[in-house]
Amino acid sequence: MFQTSILVIYTGGTIGMVQDPKSMTLRPLTFENLYKYLPVLENFNCRIDFHTFEPLLDSSNMNPGFWIQLATVIEESYESYDGFVVLHGSDTMAYTASALSFMLENLNKPVIFTGSQLPIGMVRTDGRENFINSIEIATAREFDTPLVPEVAICFENRLFRGNRTSKLNAEHFGAFISGNYPLLAEVGVHIKYHQNLILKPNFKKLRVLKELDDNIAILKLFPGISVRAIEGILHTEGLKAVILETFGAGNAPTVPWFMDQVQDACTRGIIVFNVTQCKGGAVDMGKYETSAGLGKLGVIGGYDITTESAVTKLMYLLGSGYSTDSVKQLLQTSLRGEMTV
């Protein structure tokens, strides 16, 4: 009799690929043969079931509609499993993990994302270790309570809060970074959980929020950006919010034409969310003269939130039907541990 049960959800991505011995091309793994590549899974005292999306989706094609499908699978299976492992392409994993963290309200079970830089069927793949570690973390319990009841990313012997991550490297096995929040766990001979950093369960009923509004844009500043480029983004039809990726601690040009464009956007009711381009550090509007003016215009400071989390949080808040004032307030509130306020 198994003590725990895990649902592995395969969405697509490198980890689920094996090389065809005849054509030498990569093709998706059929999970009936998974134990051929990972025989050690048979030693886990847990039931492992699989759900494979059809068709599989390359992570570059990830979109809000697919996030809703993924959240629905978890919702429909939630009472039947003790945890979930999501196999996902690494390129947009941070976006999907961030989105699910907001969509799965009152989550009290592990949802562990993982993937790999090399296909699981290759000799030097990092996929085997990432997969095995994710299963072990998803089954970890203490006093019949999951140790990691939140959305997390497990990659290269490290466990990150999902909505705190960004992909940093396309070549190294250590692909992810969490510049503003410590690791939730470290995998060595033993798995060391930093329980003081992990979200605590609230034991409330899961609520899955499936309305997402994608009427947002990212405006990344760079030296020499033209007024035409800024006008084009800020006057996008249907635009409700823009993530302003600024320099350093939230700094932006102080030239009149730029400030006029931002003021005009705020006046038209567009939410402007100030997020730093840096992978570490936080927006501190008013620290320098080059950011103080933005706050006076109505720009909302994003503290140390990642761009990935800012994108998905805005989609979630706008889709939930909050008023503009409420959205602005909630953008400055940590809802799922996504920012340090």
| Catalytically active residues, by annotation | 14
Helix (H) or strand (E) holding 256: helix 256-267
Residues sharing a CB contact under 8 Å with residue 201, sequence separation 6 or more, in sequence order: 108, 145, 146, 149
End-to-end CA distance of the chain: 45
The SS3 call for residue 36 is helix
Distance CA 299, CA 155 (A): 35
Smallest Cα–Cα separation from 103: which of 298, 257, 309? 309
Q: Which amino acid is at 141?
A: R
Q: How far is CA 13 from CA 5, 16, 20, 128, in A?
A: 24, 6, 16, 14
Distance CA 189, CA 131 (A): 16
Q: How far is CA 32 from CA 36, 51, 204, 273, in A?
A: 9, 11, 35, 46
- The two three-digit tokens of residue 170, written as one number: 């396309």
Secondary structure (DSSP) of 185-203 = EEESSSEEE-GGGSPPP--
Q: Dihedrals φ, ψ of 164, to 5°? A: -115, 5
Distance CA 265, CA 239 (A): 10
Q: Dihedrals φ, ψ of 113, to 5°? A: -90, 140
Residues sharing a CB contact under 8 Å with residue 262, sequence separation 6 or more, in sequence order: 234, 244, 252, 272, 294, 297, 299
The SS3 call for residue 147 is coil
Distance CA 119, CA 18 (A): 6
Bridge partners, 142 (sequence order): 145
Q: What is the DSSP letter of 213?
A: -
